[in-house]
Structure 1
Amino acid sequence: MFLLTKIIYQMETFKYSLDKSSKKNLCPNCNKNTFVYYVNTETGNYLTTDFGRCDREQNCNYHKAPPKGKRGFLIPFLTLQDISNKAFKLVDVNGIISIIPKSQILEQQKGRCYISEWYLKTSTINYLNNESKYFNTDEVCTFNEVKTIKEPQQLKSSFHRLKLQDKIIKEYKDNQKFDNLTTFLLDNFTFDEVDKAVSNYYLTGSNYCWQQSTIFWQIDDKGQIRGAKIMLYDKVTGKRIKEPYNHINWLHKAIKEPDFNLCQCLFGLHLINEDCQKSIAIVESEKTAIIMSIFLPEFIWVSTGSKSNFKFEVLEPLKKRKCFAFPDKGEFNNWSNKAKELKTKGFKIEVSNIIEQTNFNNGFDLADYYFKTTK
């Protein structure tokens, strides 16, 4: 435990770092041209000439370091519940449940909070592309000289092995029982329609977390398995089971792979290479993508998995394709504004307001609309 804590501490990113170039300056102590300035890693500006380290460690040993600040990343959440004097229970927008020490929540806002980088490195919360800032840092003066600062290297994405997927699919078939979501689909569509959709999206039943739950494999456009989300549905209504808690988990957590670095992609992304002529339709829910692939097979249907994943990092593989986005009720403005931003980067995304014009409650989606109007 001590070794792990030491490693994490050494990895922590601070607001200021020593200049990594070969440039040397006049040392304020020994007056030799052996002094390395500190720079502000956010702005790239040098700090004033008294902050730095002399390379003459034996003869001079001058080193004045600026204050170290805690870096926090902005994490949107569904709920943040006070459960004790020392901890919160947080459910993030992907449904991941975490128990977080209160000391590691650096700032709290409505529907989101800043969590310390130190804690996030030990958790399964995806944060590397999120907004960040520093806390508890005494500001120091800087030069107005801008340098190019090398960004900290991000952790490489982890991938599930194909052998693991084959093993789970075989176990599912040998079980000879349908998961609850597939049961719901079979009650509403023909066997051939469901069989094709299940095969296209590698929809898999599982008992890893809950009996008759469903695994949604996130397979990227190169055929690599980025992750696998496990969710439990009601087999009659087809709705996700959210009581007494939200039944969502990830396969790497279920099989206890603590070093797995989850870097999500669109659900259904592997299908975009099968037909380059088809337009791509984007929805939020994995279930909705599967259902709409049956209703409207003239599109390739993909899902973001959460409303916050409608962003450049996740949508980048679709940049050259013609896309139509169908946000859930209440999200049209957010997705529309994001699409306008993405168009300036070369994307071809049109956002539909078909759900926004209905009298459905917030959260209703395109699959709800089609079941209401066609069934």
Structure 2
Amino acid sequence: MIEYKYSLDNSSKKFICPNCNKKTFVRFVDTVKGEYLPTDFGRCDREQNCQYYKAPPKGKKAFLIDFITLKEISNKAFKLVDKNGLISIIPKSQILEQKENSCFISEWYLKNSKINYLNKESKYFNSDFTSFLNVVKTVEKPLQKNISYHSLKLQDNIIKEYNKKDNVCNLTYYLLENFDFEKVNNAVSNYYLTGSNFFWNNSTIFWQIDTKEQIRGAKIMLYNKNTGKRIKEPYNHINWLHNALKVADFKLCQCLFGLHLINEDYTKKIGIVESEKTAIIMSMFLPQYIWLATGSKSNFKEQLLKPIKNRFCIAFPDKGEFVYWNKKANELNKKGFKIQVSKLLEQSNFENGFDLADYYNIY
């Protein structure tokens, strides 16, 4: 059986087409790693009007070979003893993926070896996208990353389940009452704003999606549909999807809200705010920026900002937080970041906690 490493994404997600600039683009997915390929590989659904289609090359064909031992003998080669006791010296460049007791070896090498491979499992590898090519060093099990992810299928199911009942979450209701329908529709689509009845009816899910389109986490918050303010009484209505689903041992490793959008335009400046709601609203007021949110004052830090290190950013801290964010920005800029911190709110007469969306709603 031949397994192809890449396939078109079968979820309902759509991206900006690199040819017609419409949000009708289905991207190719790495079926092994569950990650999207670069943004130019995919198919536009506008088959009559656009017809854009670009598939990744099939790459190298390789076969899965079981082994008894696999030992590094130099910086260029391994000694492999297969199940039949046959000893082979294999260049590292020809071992394309390693498992615990087996590895995928290129067809090119196997054709010139004595290893029996024709009835083995096979698949294709492409050196442009597979980071593990030519880097096999030991036969030890790889360390597990200390990060958990929600699946794209889970996100798709939650969105479909809520939308099929014609529900509108409180935050979306507020946005529709106060902003142009088309702008709200675009913002909801771009940020995958999702209604939910987890914990509280008509609450809102904010998906934290990284640059590889992996879902790091999903924050659930409840808003007043008339004021657009978060409900904080008698307690702060904030929780997480993995808690709602009771996912055992979920390792939350947050990223900036909206981070996935930086792949869609490499020329736009990036605006950074604290609140997810503010990022969404500012994307309607100032669409010439890509708007990201830290989710909290303390999340304005290197760990979360690292993916945008090479982009020019303007941070807009809430009133009263300028000193803290400006100090952090100065520290990060010494490391190569390009972050400017705005004094717009700090120089206003508004109360502490006032944010950029409040400012634009007033003016």
TM-score range, shorter chain: 0.5 to 0.7
Question: Could you say which residue in structure 2 is the equivalent of 1:275?
Answer: 265
Q: In the alignment, is residue 182 of structure 1 matched against residue 184 of structure 2?
A: no
- 1:258: Cα distance to partner? 2.5
Q: Tell me the distance in 2 between the aligned counterparts of 1:155 and 1:221.
A: 17
- 1:171: Cα distance to partner? 0.9
Q: Tell me the distance in 1 between the aligned counterparts of 2:243 and 2:340.
A: 36
Q: Tell me the distance in 1 between the aligned counterparts of 2:307 and 2:160.
A: 30
Q: Runs of 5+ in structure 2 lacking a partner? A: 1-142
Question: Could you say which residue in structure 2 is the equivalent of 1:334?
Answer: 324
- 1:181: Cα distance to partner? 0.1
Q: Give 1:191-202 correspondences, 5 Å limit.
A: 191-202=181-192
Q: Deviations over 1:41-78 (max 9, x none)?
A: xxxxxxxxxxxxxxxxxxxxxxxxxxxxxxxxxxxxxx
Question: Could you say which residue in structure 1 is the equivalent of 2:301?
Answer: 311
Question: Could you say which residue in structure 2 is the equivalent of 1:225?
Answer: 215
Alignment partner of 1:323: what SS?
strand
Q: Which structure 1 residue ranges, 4+ long, deviate > 4 Å from structure 2?
A: none
Query: Which one of 204, 220, 241 corresponds to residue 194 of structure 2?
Result: 204
Question: Could you say which residue in structure 2 is the equivalent of 1:266?
Answer: 256
Q: Deviations over 1:147-193 (max 9, x none)?
A: xxxxxx89611000111000000012112011000000001111111
Q: Tell me the distance in 1 between the aligned counterparts of 2:221 and 2:235.
A: 12
Q: Tell me the distance in 2 between the aligned counterparts of 1:318 and 1:354.
A: 22
One-letter amino acid of the counterpart of residue 271, structure 2: A
Q: Tell me the distance in 2 between the aligned counterparts of 1:238 and 1:258.
A: 33
Alignment partner of 2:272: what SS?
strand
Q: Tell me the distance in 1 between the aligned counterparts of 2:188 and 2:262.
A: 16
Question: Could you say which residue in structure 2 is the equivalent of 1:242?
Answer: 232
Question: Could you say which residue in structure 2 is the equivalent of 1:324?
Answer: 314
Q: Tell me the distance in 2 between the aligned counterparts of 1:261 and 1:282.
A: 25
Question: Could you say which residue in structure 2 is the equivalent of 1:97?
Answer: none
Q: Deviations over 1:65-105 (max 9, x none)?
A: xxxxxxxxxxxxxxxxxxxxxxxxxxxxxxxxxxxxxxxxx
- 1:238: Cα distance to partner? 0.3
Q: Deviations over 1:315-336 (max 9, x none)?
A: 0000000000000000000000
Q: Tell me the distance in 2 between the aligned counterparts of 1:326 and 1:361.
A: 15
Q: Deviations over 1:313-361 (max 9, x none)?
A: 0000000000000000000000000000000110000000100111111
- 1:300: Cα distance to partner? 0.1
Q: Is the 1:281–1:300 contact (alpha carbons within 8 Å) kept by the matching residues of 2?
A: yes
One-letter amino acid of the counterpart of residue 353, structure 1: K
Count of matched residue positions in the alignment of Structure 1 and Structure 2: 221
Q: In the alignment, is residue 367 of structure 1 matched against residue 357 of structure 2?
A: yes
Q: Tell me the distance in 2 between the aligned counterparts of 1:169 and 1:347.
A: 36
**When the two structures are superposed, what TM-score results if normalisation uses the length of structure 1?**
0.58
Question: Could you say which residue in structure 1 is the equivalent of 2:48?
Answer: none
Q: Tell me the distance in 2 between the aligned counterparts of 1:175 and 1:292.
A: 29
One-letter amino acid of the counterpart of residue 314, structure 1: L
Q: Tell me the distance in 1 between the aligned counterparts of 2:160 and 2:167.
A: 12
One-letter amino acid of the counterpart of residue 302, structure 2: F
Q: Tell me the distance in 2 between the aligned counterparts of 1:196 and 1:172.
A: 18
Alignment partner of 2:164: what SS?
helix
Q: In the alignment, is residue 253 of structure 1 matched against residue 243 of structure 2?
A: yes
Q: Tell me the distance in 2 between the aligned counterparts of 1:355 and 1:175.
A: 40
One-letter amino acid of the counterpart of residue 226, structure 2: V
One-letter amino acid of the counterpart of residue 259, structure 2: L
Q: Give 1:74-89 correspondences, 5 Å limit.
A: none
Q: Is the 1:281–1:323 contact (alpha carbons within 8 Å) kept by the matching residues of 2?
A: yes
Q: Tell me the distance in 1 between the aligned counterparts of 2:151 and 2:354.
A: 35
Q: In the alignment, is residue 160 of structure 1 matched against residue 150 of structure 2?
A: yes
Q: Is the 1:155–1:261 contact (alpha carbons within 8 Å) kept by the matching residues of 2?
A: no
**When the two structures are superposed, what TM-score results if normalisation uses the length of structure 2?**
0.60
* Identical amino acids, percent of aligned pairs: 69
One-letter amino acid of the counterpart of residue 317, structure 2: P
Q: Tell me the distance in 1 between the aligned counterparts of 2:292 and 2:144.
A: 26
Question: Could you say which residue in structure 2 is the equivalent of 1:69?
Answer: none
Q: Tell me the distance in 2 between the aligned counterparts of 1:333 and 1:298.
A: 26
Alignment partner of 2:229: what SS?
coil
